[in-house]
Structure 1
Amino acid sequence: MPGPDEGARRAAALPARAGVRTDIQFLRALAVMAVVLNHLFPNRLTGGYLGVDIFFVISGFLITAHLLGELEREGRISLARFWARRARRLLPASLTVLAVCAAATVAWLPQTRWPQVMSEVLASALYFENWQLARSAQDYFTSAQTASPVTHFWSLSVEEQFYLVWPLLVLGTWWLALRRGGASGALRPRGLTPRRTVGTGLAILGVASLAFAVWSVEAHPDAAYFITPGRVWEFAAGGVLAALAAAQGAVRPRWVAIPGWLLMVGSICLFGDDSGVPGLSTLLPVAGCALVIWAGTGSAGRPAPRALRGPVWLGDISYSVYLWHWPLIVFAPIALQRPMTPGLGLAILLVTLLTAQLSTRFVEDPLRRARWLTARPAAMTLSGAAISMAAVAGVAIYIPTTVEDDLQAVQAEMEELVADGGPCVGAAATASGCPDSHELAVAGSSLLTIVNSPYTPTWGTTCQVEPEDPDPSPCEFGVPKQEAVQRLALVGDSHAGQWASTLDTIARERGWNVEMQVKSSCLPTTGDVHASWGTEPMIASCRAWSHQVRTALADDPDIDVIVMSGIARDYASADPDGVVEQLRELWAGWVEAGKQVVVMADPPYLGRGPVPECLAEASTRPDPCAALAAVVRTPDPLVVAAAGQDGVTVVDLTDVVCDHRRCHAVVGGMPVYGDQNHLLQYFARTMAPLVAKRLATVPGLDQPQGR
């Protein structure tokens, strides 16, 4: 019997709710605050993203425990009823947030962002956002640079996929266990119960998933963070815990939770963006979460002291906190037109908690508990969920169509502008002293990007090999080979590809055929030069592609001139001088094979992020988004390597973009860049006369050599 103090302690405790474990609410509170603080102050709580991993373990435990309990009580699982409960619990708040994000995107983000954000809203509404992010290989830890307000829905997509498949998995394993052991469920001779058989099956699945995660973190580090197979083992850890839990009422030693909390808090404080999540290192926070849950087994309904009211409350609203915090982080600085500061971060935190409380009180709870839904067949809930998801998806599909209409109008104006030309259009304005050169001539021209307005030559195609594809895939433009008076090759990474429209304009005038050999994130060299952001598979692929391309071009007797460019500033080698030296060695081999080499210097990038977005936000000001030339005009290794090289000609048009003070985002009334650093193809076409003038100095060009 409790002593006198025990009665007072219980009187001061929070009321217990049937089936609610306060230790799990504490875990939820830790997990969501870790994520929120990591997003608000990423340099302070570097491992806060592990809160998602903790949530996955909790979900695996609770859902598996629920399913096994239903199987033991009723001998079956009502899948429709299970999915209806999940829909009532999750969809009202998530679809509300998505609808608000769609409206806020139209209100505050430039049109250049609408298609990308709406594609993510669509993926989030249909719960495949994690796969969309994996496909684009977006780095989670730099996702704030693109400021998508729904990036965080990747984890909710993983959870929904878990809810869809897990009941089938548990039910199937249970059924197989009963088949092996007879109607009674007794499995002989090993004495395994169906519950333990489910636990064994989940353990095997978890080990396989962990092995996949370890492999994918090494092979595809950006995509590995998002893809579902590499996350299954975290759910399985919770599921095994639920399957092997002791009978109801058995209480574990409470001290077991202490090392669990230490493992989680330590990981959250010490992990960084290079910790290999969700690989082997993630075992630490997952094991910590499992220890805390194990220590609390049998304690459901145990009241928490009043002093811990805050964590329990935060655990109660953790789902809404997670949903609302990231859109507020993305939109608040834009709506307030001020940068993110610690003060603004704290304000966002308070608004997040208030919004989450209101969302839980007026959106989540009413629909989750509504008698008009719970008392009716599950089909009604599921039908309503499908209609609601379709409505949000429809909005996400419609909004980009309005952008497409505007884009087509802008493209028509830009085509007319480029065709008419003139001394103040595009690159020509550099030498003309045009007073309004740095003001946009076409309203809305910031919509034009390298992605949604690709340049297609009059004849032929432009092509680019993907980062992990080791095989060359050349294409041609200019004039057909049989009509050409001379053949050239355009070689390099995507920054070589940005010159395709320029060369095509010249080639069609002069009767050239141009073979394009371009690979994303790869420069042809004679050694181990690679993009600084390259993964091991990308580097190996680049090495193989480079060898084939440099040999093929050297051996092709019909190619007279090789034009090369790339973002060489961002390439690295084990030897500090390796980039320059290997470029010289490469060109010397081509020159020895009878080729002339033309090096196109890479225009500096402005460090403003996506330049079209900057222009869209500041298009009413003259010379928006310019950068100080002294800061951004850094040496180009291509130009450095070409100095003094026989048979190598440099075409450096940096002065078209930069004067002695600034490098500009708008020249001759046109945007210079189509994204962070690639030339906008309309502007590149206006550079053709300047490039043609420089190419006239290349020995042998325009004078076909004997074949």
Structure 2
Amino acid sequence: MQPVSRAAAHFRADVEGLRAIAVLSVVAFHYGVPSVTGGFVGVDVFFVISGYLISQLLLREIAATGKLDFLGFYGRRAKRLLPAALAVTVATLTIGYFVLAPFEQKGMAKSATASALYAANVWLLRQSTNYFAPESSLNPFLHTWSLSVEEQFYLFWPAFLLLVGRISQKVLLIALLIVVFGSFAACFHLTYGKQAWAFYLAPPRAWEFGLGALIATRPFEDWMRQPGSSRLIVGWLSFAVLILSFFAIDGFMPFPGVVAIVPVFATALLLLTGDDPAGPSALLRMRPFQFFGARSYAIYLWHWPIAVLGTVLVGGTALAHCLFFAMTVVLSSLSFAWLERPIRSSYWLAQRSVRSIAMGGALTLIATVAGVLSFTIAQYVTDAAQAAIVASTSKFSLASESGCLAGFTTPKPIRCVFGPSNYTKTIVLLGDSHADQWTTALAAIAEQKGWRLITYLRASCPVADIPISKVYSLRLRRLSTQCASWREQAIAKIKNQDTPDAILLAQFSSGNVKGPFTNLGPHAVSVETWERGLFRALKELEPLGVKLIVLRDNPTPYHPVGNCLARAEWRGLPFSTCSRSLSLTISDEVFEAEQRVVSSINNARMIDLTSSICTDLVCPAIRDGIVVYRDANHLTVDFTLLLKDRLAADLTAAL
């Protein structure tokens, strides 16, 4: 007869149902289900559940024996987590070899290795990978950051509970409160300063696990057993708040920070209300929730690699996402039935904890070797064509390489000067990264024409004087409040220091205006607001009496062209599959608004290079043998140099 596990002895069907809601919310968010803008907080639900269940088991063992079986604990964790994780890792690396370009395979392999070593969160942070950024959708192992956070929590939590739990119940409560409040204070501070640190690292997330542990202590468990209508009211209200958070929260909010309090406390209160049949437990016990709850870990593991690799193959349509979900359910059910359940219930492994520990070590080693081997193979198969694409899309402009593009948090303008010392004219370039992309070509023109080029550039900071409440940094995940100050200081320097002959303004226009060309969500502005903002900016410069030249924003493909070209070359597909229809890359409405502004300002004119970037119908990924786009919206340095003569002629005519 096989022994009954501790988890089975204290099984709560309502918690299983809560797991189902958590994982389905994450899947819905990643699969683009409309309105489920906050589905990613399902991860926070998991953190609270983990803190609760793990602490409950550990505290009961400490209370009963005064000590902890560390080998037993880590052996159970190894059996629970590692077999399915290895299966997904190997499957993803194998399929990724055929689907992704070699340079993408290298990145995938590095992420897989970090995940195998329980450090995916630290790796992503070091790569400056923002969870919500568009490029994050290209990493099949992005979701493993949360698994690494949990595994890091498991490393220190048993020893911590043993240390404080053996002293007294009062010391335990005080220690847990210190963890919760101290960690939340760090989380709050980092969210508004270094958001990625707050999101990825374990210490700023410890308050979520700690809150789960706090409600697993005796005083809260005693309260949970007491009958009363208040518990039912709290339970249903908490359930409603949790569900609403999936729809009310979005990735544009400063998260985790204060925002995370809502789903975290709602989850804690749901756990506290227990399994009262008149409470939310009645719903959570239903068979569909039990089905998905039992497979929640496998679903979480499988759903994201399927989405990433599947989107590369067939696109990200609603029908494709339905197919991805069906595949997720099938594969997670198979891995649950063939891996998770047999290994967790293995009598042979249960006899001696050291066997489970050894198995965990072996699985960790295999996953690490798989990642390293995948990287080695990708490096070996990288040919000259792949290297050329990567080289072209990896070049940065002269200004960027010279440290002239101010970062997202830089408050003061950086003044850089290019061109000969015996110049005849001075051109000032003012703008964001879409202005910066032209600096290599402009500097070459300046040398050729005997001009001086002065740059004032700041990432994600439009020249248009739009309301400060609308200048949002996707990288920082917060409003870029310093942008307006930077613009004012830059214009003041131009007025007082530079005495230019012309001011060239360039910016990511379409990326800031509501419509299909922006991913700023609620922070995008209307065309009318953009028009007024550009008018105010030009009007402020008009008294200088110099030429004001607005460079029309380049057509924007809004898909990673370099990745697409490398994949096409790797898979033998035509490069034309990476091109985009002209109508899908430009906003005529924005262009017309900017033309109206330019026509209303003295000495202002517009330069439009669209016809040199795209044909009448198509914006190619490669033109005249040169890769056009560095990423989803910036031109490559090589292509801007190809347009150098056309740009020089237009500037000369404007002057």
Q: Please say whether Structure 1 and Structure 2 have the same fold, judged by a TM-score greater than 0.5.
A: yes
- The aligned runs of 1:209-220 (5 Å cut-off) are 209-214=183-188
Q: 1:267 — aligned with what? A: 242
Determine what percentage of the aligned residue pairs are the same residue: 28
Deviation at 1:659, TM superposition (A): 4.1
Shift of the 94–613 alpha-carbon distance from structure 1 to 2, 3 Å rule, reads same
Q: Does 1:361 align with 2:337?
A: yes
Contact kept in structure 1, 2:463 and 2:505, CA below 8 Å: no
Letter in 1 for 2:309: F
- The aligned runs of 1:387-426 (5 Å cut-off) are 387-395=365-373, 397-398=375-376, 401-402=379-380, 406=384, 409-410=387-388
- The aligned runs of 1:20-31 (5 Å cut-off) are 20-31=11-22
Deviation at 1:320, TM superposition (A): 0.9
Write the distance in 2 (CA, Å) between the matches of 1:498 and 1:200: 55
- The aligned runs of 1:261-660 (5 Å cut-off) are 263-269=238-244, 271-272=246-247, 274=249, 276=253, 278-280=256-258, 282-296=260-274, 308=286, 311-335=289-313, 337=314, 339-342=316-319, 344-368=320-344, 369=346, 371=348, 374-376=352-354, 380=358, 383-384=361-362, 386-395=364-373, 397-398=375-376, 401-402=379-380, 406=384, 409-410=387-388, 445=389, 447=390, 450=393, 452-455=394-397, 461=402, 463-479=404-420, 481=421, 487-524=426-463, 528=467, 532-534=471-473, 539-557=480-498, 560-571=501-512, 572=525, 577-589=531-543, 591-592=544-545, 595-607=546-558, 609-616=559-566, 620=574, 622=576, 624-629=578-583, 632-634=586-588, 635-636=590-591, 639-643=595-599, 645-660=601-616
Write the distance in 2 (CA, Å) between the matches of 1:35 and 1:513: 53
Contact kept in structure 1, 2:235 and 2:270, CA below 8 Å: yes
Write the distance in 2 (CA, Å) between the matches of 1:287 and 1:531: 30
Deviation at 1:394, TM superposition (A): 1.6
Write the distance in 2 (CA, Å) between the matches of 1:491 and 1:100: 48
Write the distance in 1 (CA, Å) between the matches of 2:466 and 2:335: 57
Q: 1:233 — aligned with what? A: 207
Write the distance in 2 (CA, Å) between the matches of 1:346 and 1:527: 40
Contact kept in structure 2, 1:67 and 1:170, CA below 8 Å: yes
Write the distance in 2 (CA, Å) between the matches of 1:243 and 1:602: 59
- The aligned runs of 1:61-140 (5 Å cut-off) are 61-77=52-68, 79=70, 82-111=73-102, 113-131=104-122, 140=131
Q: 1:191 — aligned with what? A: none
Contact kept in structure 2, 1:257 and 1:292, CA below 8 Å: no
Write the distance in 2 (CA, Å) between the matches of 1:583 and 1:620: 44
Q: 1:672 — aligned with what? A: 628
Deviation at 1:289, TM superposition (A): 3.2
Letter in 1 for 2:95: A
Q: TM-score, normalised by structure 2?
A: 0.80
Write the distance in 2 (CA, Å) between the matches of 1:250 and 1:392: 46
Q: How many residues align?
A: 619
Letter in 2 for 1:327: P
Write the distance in 2 (CA, Å) between the matches of 1:463 and 1:478: 15
Structure number having the greater helix percentage: 2
Deviation at 1:166, TM superposition (A): 2.2
Contact kept in structure 2, 1:600 and 1:651, CA below 8 Å: yes
Q: 2:522 — aligned with what? A: none
Write the distance in 2 (CA, Å) between the matches of 1:254 and 1:460: 66
Query: Please, which runs of 5 or more residues in structure 1 have no aligned partner?
Result: 1-15, 179-193, 411-444, 700-707
Write the distance in 2 (CA, Å) between the matches of 1:396 and 1:147: 17
Contact kept in structure 2, 1:460 and 1:476, CA below 8 Å: no
Query: Which structure has the larger Rg over C-alpha atoms?
Result: 1
Letter in 2 for 1:151: L
Letter in 1 for 2:176: L
Contact kept in structure 1, 2:471 and 2:479, CA below 8 Å: no
Shift of the 653–546 alpha-carbon distance from structure 1 to 2, 3 Å rule, reads same
Q: TM-score, normalised by structure 1?
A: 0.75
Shift of the 159–33 alpha-carbon distance from structure 1 to 2, 3 Å rule, reads same
Letter in 2 for 1:267: L
Letter in 2 for 1:472: P
SS in 2 for 1:562: strand
Deviation at 1:382, TM superposition (A): 6.1
Q: Does 1:158 align with 2:186?
A: no
SS in 2 for 1:85: helix
Shift of the 562–404 alpha-carbon distance from structure 1 to 2, 3 Å rule, reads farther
Letter in 1 for 2:372: G
SS in 2 for 1:272: helix
Letter in 1 for 2:336: T
Letter in 1 for 2:488: H
Offset from partner CA, 1:349-375 (integer Å, 9 cap, x none) = 343233223212333345554746945
Write the distance in 2 (CA, Å) between the matches of 1:375 and 1:154: 27
Deviation at 1:219, TM superposition (A): 5.8
Letter in 2 for 1:509: Q
Q: 1:439 — aligned with what? A: none
Deviation at 1:327, TM superposition (A): 1.9
Q: 1:436 — aligned with what? A: none
Offset from partner CA, 1:425-471 (integer Å, 9 cap, x none) = xxxxxxxxxxxxxxxxxxxx4x4564x233559x9836311112112
Deviation at 1:244, TM superposition (A): 2.8
Letter in 1 for 2:395: S
Shift of the 171–474 alpha-carbon distance from structure 1 to 2, 3 Å rule, reads farther
Write the distance in 2 (CA, Å) between the matches of 1:478 and 1:448: 26
Offset from partner CA, 1:201-244 (integer Å, 9 cap, x none) = 21232234445555555666677554544432221221001123
Contact kept in structure 1, 2:464 and 2:534, CA below 8 Å: no
RMSD between aligned alpha carbons? Answer: 4.1
SS in 1 for 2:247: coil
Contact kept in structure 2, 1:31 and 1:51, CA below 8 Å: yes
Write the distance in 1 (CA, Å) between the matches of 2:256 and 2:328: 27
- The aligned runs of 1:180-199 (5 Å cut-off) are 194-199=168-173
